[in-house]
Structure 1
Amino acid sequence: MQTVEELELKLSKPSERLIADVAKIHGDIMILGLGGKMGPSLSKLLKKAIDKAGISKRIMGASRFSNETMYNELSNFGIECHKVDLLNDAALNGLPDTENVIYMAGNKFGTAGNEHFTWAMNAYLPGRVAEKYKHSNIVVFSTGNIYPFMPIESGGAKENVRPSPIGEYAQSCLGRERVFEHFSVKNGTKMLLYRLNYALDLRYGVLLEVAKKVISEKPIDLSMGHVNVIWQGDANEYAIRSLLHCQSPANKLNITGPETISVQWLAEQFGKHFEKKPIFENKPAETALLNNASRSFDLFGKPFVSLNEMIMMTVEWVKSGGKEISKPTHFQERRGDF
């Protein structure tokens, strides 16, 4: 896989299990924050699944759409796109009502020095959205950052682990959850809090960041010595299917891959393929930001794309000089400064 076109086709290919579940979702679907990293491929995946299921359903999306090309591309694909600033109450309230909402809006990158905007996006806007769509099913994109660091041997935090966010970004994400939870109880709105880490495609993500360090012979920080990852296509599928599992009070679901991955081991795998000896700095801590997604596997099955396949696709992508999205994960961060 060497081109964006090939990548997009893989990301937007619906599985039979997704097609079957899409047919069970009653009503139209609005994606808020459509223009982010995952929104475009999620909307295309959803459109293809609906077409394959042979049903009729509106797919709508709202975003600022600073990228005009993306707006035109998604519109031509059959997505009903709305250019809005979601923090503008009049614009938000002017959006169509719908039975289902996938909430992907939020702020992470550049949090440090811009904390006020991060809190507005991550903790104020959810209340406005929850009131606007009080009669909808809402899947709320959240993050495993709301959990404390977990011992490596623990297998990661399960949904019953008490949140203990580190740093303002993670704190604002817990704020997002708590505000949505409040309105789920107050209005009886059915919701699912979708705690994701770390989704990737070949243009961004933990694997690309480690691979680039290896091939450029730059030091790899092992302070956060273990991670979880999941293929973006699998994460998008799970998000769509989560619309069938919304509850009041809000349901909670961890989403990531099944492995606890050693960053050192990962770098060594890339080193073999690139014929480079990885350079390491610092020692792995006994804890890491780890997410246990076993409950999601019980609901949806294991991810289709394996860790080995992700590694091999990343090797080919890096060797061919594939396009990148300049949004680092900061997976090495232990102080919460994003």
Structure 2
Amino acid sequence: MHPIHNLTDLDQTLSQPTTATLHTLQHLDGDLIVLGASGKMGPTLARMLRRTLDELGHTSRRVIAVARFSSPSTLADFQQHGIETIRCDLLDPTAVAALPSVPNVLFLAGQKFGTSDAPETTWAMNTLVPAYVAQRFSQSRTVVFSTGCVYPLVPADGPGASEDTPLTPPGEYANSCVGRERLFGHFARTARTPLLFFRLCYAIDLRYGVLLDIAQKVQAGEPVDVSMGYVNVIWQGDACARAIQSLAHTQSPPLALNVTGLEKLSVRTLAERFGRAVGREARITGTEGPTAWIWDASRSYDLFGPPAVSIDEMIEATAHWLQRGGTTIGKPTHFEVHDGRF
């Protein structure tokens, strides 16, 4: 990974096309649409798509970003990178029905935080929107961003949940995510839509993520709770590259993929490493529990190989970003939560 000193460096690094994204889009025809594009990962994904097509010389192929775009600056940022934008409330079925037909769909819309206070909104976003989108794009190959939280917590001393683990998670948020997959799966079966469930588990962008959560606590002298003793992470650029590659692996019935790093990381060890990096002793609270939300990503490694960015590089970049006072978005992951209440 090249040194990252500012937001421009970070965005350039995250959205860098890879040999695999170039190969995938070279062999897939048509335009691409990113639904729910204004969240944490959407800008990186849309920009990687645009840069990959441009590098291939496919400048006439469209990348369309769809979101509410409540921030004019966010809208302008997409447009200045050559990405078309459509303002759309995905909870409005009429607006969804009016979206342009494209053969390649990446679905990122959803809600997590605020579920405890407004569970009905989370269920609407995570089940009604998928129903509208699945009907509108029933003939398009579709990668549906899901989450590793669709699984229950599993033994911390094991390999993690695999794609064959039953979907019996705790909490309303996680169960609404199961609902999202079930709704897409229903329409995929009835319309034979080629589909892939992209079960992403803790993407890392220096502005947010599990590593930043831990590093910030250590730097501030706050205790790090290790009761959720282990995590998996993946660099956001690698996750976006895998999402683009996943378009070539959609199928009916849908394929599910756990997308994260294979390494099971000790939260205690991560805190101690960040302590050394920022020059203060990590304060630890709690004891590692017998279960954790961890995942076995072997299937995605078999398809895509290992990610380009290692855990050591992510830790070093996160510590460097924090020490330089880099921008953060103030959205902790709450990876410590055991009961699924967000």
TM class by smaller structure:
over 0.9
1:160 equivalent in structure 2:
164
Flag structure 1 segments of 5+ consecutive residues without an equivalent: none
1:123 equivalent in structure 2:
127
Rounded Cα–Cα distance in structure 1 between residues aligned with 2:101 and 2:65:
12
Segment drifting more, 51-60 vs 64-73:
51-60
- Once the two structures are superposed, what CA deviation does each residue of 1:160-185 show, in whole Å capped at 9, x if it has no partner? 11111110000000000001011110
1:19 aligns with 2:28: no
1:232 equivalent in structure 2:
236
Q: Is the 8 A contact 1:20 1:53 kept in 2?
A: no
Moved over 6 A (4+): none
Matched residue SS, 1:153: coil
How many pairs does the alignment contain? 338
1:314 aligns with 2:318: yes
Q: Is the 8 A contact 2:204 2:236 kept in 1?
A: yes
Q: 1:173 aligns with which of 172, 177, 201?
A: 177
Deviation, structure 1 residue 57: 1.5
Rounded Cα–Cα distance in structure 2 between residues aligned with 1:270 and 1:66:
36
1:10 aligns with 2:5: no
Deviation, structure 1 residue 153: 2.4
Rounded Cα–Cα distance in structure 2 between residues aligned with 1:294 and 1:50:
29
Q: Name the amino acid aligned to 1:151.
A: P
Rounded Cα–Cα distance in structure 2 between residues aligned with 1:10 and 1:45:
10
Rounded Cα–Cα distance in structure 2 between residues aligned with 1:152 and 1:137:
35
1:291 equivalent in structure 2:
295
The alignment's TM-score, normalised by the length of structure 2, stands at: 0.97
Q: Name the amino acid aligned to 1:12.
A: S
Matched residue SS, 1:22: helix
- Once the two structures are superposed, what CA deviation does each residue of 1:155-214 show, in whole Å capped at 9, x if it has no partner? 111111111111000000000000101111011111000001100100000000100111
Q: Name the amino acid aligned to 2:161.
A: A
Q: Is the 8 A contact 2:217 2:223 kept in 1?
A: yes
Q: 1:53 aligns with which of 33, 51, 56?
A: 56
Rounded Cα–Cα distance in structure 2 between residues aligned with 1:337 and 1:28:
38
1:327 equivalent in structure 2:
331
Identity of matched residues, %: 45
Deviation, structure 1 residue 103: 0.3
- Once the two structures are superposed, what CA deviation does each residue of 1:1-29 show, in whole Å capped at 9, x if it has no partner? 23111100100111112111111112111
1:278 equivalent in structure 2:
282
1:69 equivalent in structure 2:
73
- Once the two structures are superposed, what CA deviation does each residue of 1:133-166 show, in whole Å capped at 9, x if it has no partner? 0110010000000101111222111111111111
Matched residue SS, 1:310: helix
Rounded Cα–Cα distance in structure 1 between residues aligned with 2:261 and 2:61:
30
1:32 equivalent in structure 2:
35
Q: 2:150 aligns with which of 146, 151, 165?
A: 146
1:182 equivalent in structure 2:
186
Rounded Cα–Cα distance in structure 2 between residues aligned with 1:125 and 1:201:
26
Rounded Cα–Cα distance in structure 2 between residues aligned with 1:32 and 1:320:
33
1:211 equivalent in structure 2:
215
Rounded Cα–Cα distance in structure 1 between residues aligned with 2:164 and 2:312:
30
1:42 equivalent in structure 2:
45
The alignment's TM-score, normalised by the length of structure 1, stands at: 0.99
Q: Is the 8 A contact 2:20 2:241 kept in 1?
A: no
Matched residue SS, 1:154: coil
Rounded Cα–Cα distance in structure 2 between residues aligned with 1:129 and 1:273:
45
Deviation, structure 1 residue 274: 1.4
Rounded Cα–Cα distance in structure 2 between residues aligned with 1:167 and 1:274:
35
Q: Is the 8 A contact 1:109 1:327 kept in 2?
A: no
Rounded Cα–Cα distance in structure 2 between residues aligned with 1:111 and 1:24:
40
Q: Name the amino acid aligned to 1:313.
A: A
Kindly report which structure 2 residues correspond to 1:59-98, keeping only aligned pairs within 5 A, or say none. Answer: 59-98=63-102
Flag structure 2 segments of 5+ consecutive residues without an equivalent: none
- Once the two structures are superposed, what CA deviation does each residue of 1:76-112 show, in whole Å capped at 9, x if it has no partner? 2111100111111111111101101000000011111
RMSD of the alignment, in Å?
Answer: 0.8
Q: Is the 8 A contact 1:31 1:39 kept in 2?
A: yes
Rounded Cα–Cα distance in structure 2 between residues aligned with 1:191 and 1:198:
22
2:273 equivalent in structure 1:
269
Q: 1:304 aligns with which of 304, 308, 317?
A: 308
Deviation, structure 1 residue 51: 1.1
